[in-house]
């Protein structure tokens, strides 16, 4: 009987295993932690956003690489929702279009339902760390001892480098580099923005409400939260990709997106003085602090220039939070190194899936979807080859 080994018990590895359930093969799923789905559960701490209800064309545009767009096309948000329903997980659409489990369903229940589907057919081997691989064997460490296991097909779903406490520590990158597999450097994604110290003031915990940020061709509306080091929040995360491309990264904030620049100008012009005008515009404490400290006196006293500053307030950033802290990461195995199904060009019958491939997406369900879609296409490819054999 053919043997398929999957290393990594996150969404990508679990979905690859799911595609093999009806094939005639031995399936081993290995993970270095004592249980699978660690990062899957951590993602549920802030509300378990499984995917998004957008149309498929809109959905795919949230990804930055053609490779992952094709994967998501083959296993779409609708396919993922249908699968969840099949294992007893009903979902709902949130006010922003995000898809969540029904209110009474906890993240651990989703994971357990998935494991219950897999357990009759799959052998889970836990507390086992990936060390190396070649064309026919994978080397692992278990109970302090090295062991080589034969395989016919291998799926590596080893994660990126964000949240290493869950197992995605990037240890595998040295192994891949030694084999001449091109990797793009890992970088923080969906990260808070680190500002220069003079921007911070006494603002920690304050919220910049109802603003719109833009950088390059990316923009997003929402709220920003001030921290001891800078800014957190969906609008900050959404422009990470554009900021990473800049030599001197900066972004613009529309502090009053509900009003045109002309309307802002009219309010300022009618006010007794600029300070009164800012109050009438109902700008918050953070916006007023920034305007007073970073808009020149000449611009501040000119209603037309002040209106322009309010609508296009420019902020330079010092950088991003450390990769160990952030929600996700960009970088990983270059898509030039793999086929459409994630098979390594240099190692036939060895596939990669999930965050270890270089693709990026914002929060909002796109990250989990990208992982399950990539795992699905690798698992399906192996299943079809087993059937052909």
Best CA proximity match to 291, nearest among 271, 311, 266, 261 = 311
Query: Which pLDDT score, from 0 to 100, does residue 46 have?
Result: 61
The CA dihedral of 148, 152, 153, 158, to the nearest 10 degrees, is: 0
Longest Cα–Cα distance of the chain, Å, equals: 84
Best CA proximity match to 199, nearest among 247, 253, 242, 275 = 253
Alpha-carbon span 183 to 173, nearest angstrom: 8
Sign of dihedral through CA atoms 225, 160, 49, 114? negative
Q: Please, are residues 369 and 380 in contact by the beta-carbon 8 Å criterion?
A: no
Alpha-carbon span 161 to 356, nearest angstrom: 8
- Would you kindly state where each structural domain of the chain is located, as residue ranges? 3-188+328-388, 193-320
- Range list of H helices, 206-339: 234-238, 240-244, 261-270, 274-280, 285-294, 297-300, 303-311
Query: Which pLDDT score, from 0 to 100, does residue 62 have?
Result: 93
Best CA proximity match to 131, nearest among 3, 30, 54 = 30
| pLDDT tens for the chain, residues 1 to 389 | 999 999 999 999 999 999 999 999 999 999 999 999 998 888 766 678 999 999 999 999 999 999 999 999 999 999 999 999 999 999 999 988 999 999 889 999 999 999 999 999 999 999 999 999 999 999 999 999 999 999 999 999 999 999 888 888 899 999 999 999 999 999 999 999 999 999 999 999 999 999 999 999 999 999 999 999 999 999 999 999 999 999 999 999 999 999 999 999 999 999 999 999 999 999 999 999 999 999 999 999 999 999 999 999 999 999 999 999 998 999 999 999 999 999 999 999 999 999 999 999 999 899 999 999 999 999 999 999 999 98
Hey, which bits of 110-249 come out as E strands? 122-125, 128-133, 137-142, 145-150, 153-156, 183-189, 193-195, 207-215, 218-226, 230-232
Element (H, E) at 116: helix 107-118
Alpha-carbon span 60 to 237, nearest angstrom: 18
CATH superfamily of the 3-188+328-388 domain: FAD/NAD(P)-binding domain (3.50.50.60)
Element (H, E) at 74: helix 66-74
Q: How many CA atoms lie within 13 A of 27 on its CB side?
A: 27
Q: Please, are residues 8 and 157 in contact by the beta-carbon 8 Å criterion?
A: yes
Sign of dihedral through CA atoms 334, 336, 340, 345? negative
Burial 168-202 (b: 16+ CB within 10 A, else e): bbbbbbebbeeeebebeebbbbbbbbbbeeebbee
Alpha-carbon span 343 to 63, nearest angstrom: 20
In sequence order, the 6+-apart residues with CB closer than 8 A to the CB of 85 are 91
Query: Which pLDDT score, from 0 to 100, does residue 168 have?
Result: 86
Decide the pairing of beta strands 26-30 and 122-125.
parallel
Alpha-carbon span 191 to 332, nearest angstrom: 17
Query: Which pLDDT score, from 0 to 100, does residue 44 have?
Result: 61
Alpha-carbon span 145 to 5, nearest angstrom: 19
CB neighbours of residue 249 within 10 Å: 20
């Amino acid at each position: 009987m053919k043997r398929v080994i999957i290393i990594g018990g996150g969404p990508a590895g679990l979905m690859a295993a799911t595609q093999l359930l009806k094939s005639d093969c031995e399936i081993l799923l290995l993970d270095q932690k004592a249980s699978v789905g660690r990062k899957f559960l951590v993602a549920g701490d802030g509300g378990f956003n499984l995917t998004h209800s957008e149309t498929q064309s809109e959905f795919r545009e949230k990804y930055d690489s053609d490779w992952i767009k094709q994967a998501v096309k083959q296993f779409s948000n609708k396919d993922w929702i249908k699968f969840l329903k099949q294992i007893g997980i009903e979902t709902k659409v949130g006010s922003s279009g995000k898809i969540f489990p029904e209110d009474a369903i906890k993240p651990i229940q989703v994971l357990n339902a998935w494991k219950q589907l897999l357990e009759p057919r799959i052998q889970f081997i836990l507390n086992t760390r990936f060390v190396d691989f070649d064309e026919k064997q994978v080397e692992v460490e278990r109970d302090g001892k090295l062991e080589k296991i034969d395989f016919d097909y291998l799926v590596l779903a080893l994660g990126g480098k964000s949240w290493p406490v869950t197992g995605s520590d990037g240890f595998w990158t040295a192994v891949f580099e030694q084999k001449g597999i091109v990797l793009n450097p890992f970088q923080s994604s969906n990260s808070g923005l680190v500002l220069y110290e003079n921007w911070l003031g006494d603002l920690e915990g304050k919220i910049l409400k109802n603003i719109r940020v833009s950088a390059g061709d990316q923009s997003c509306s929402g709220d920003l939260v001030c921290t001891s080091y800078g800014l957190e929040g969906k609008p900050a995360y959404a422009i990470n990709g554009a900021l990473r491309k800049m030599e001197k990264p900066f972004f613009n904030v529309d502090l009053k997106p509900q009003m045109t620049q002309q309307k802002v100008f009219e309010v300022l012009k009618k006010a007794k003085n600029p300070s009164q005008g800012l109050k009438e515009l109902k700008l918050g404490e953070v916006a007023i602090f920034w305007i007073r400290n970073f808009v020149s006196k000449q611009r501040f006293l000119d209603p037309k220039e002040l209106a322009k500053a309010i609508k296009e307030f420019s902020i330079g950033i010092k950088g991003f939070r450390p990769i160990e802290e952030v929600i996700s990461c960009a970088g990983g195995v270059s898509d030039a190194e793999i086929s459409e199904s994630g098979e390594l060009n240099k190692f036939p019958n060895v596939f990669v899936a999930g965050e270890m491939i270089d693709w990026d997406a914002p929060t909002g369900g796109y990250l989990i979807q990208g992982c399950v879609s990539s795992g699905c296409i690798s698992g399906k490819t192996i299943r079809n080859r087993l059937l052909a054999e």
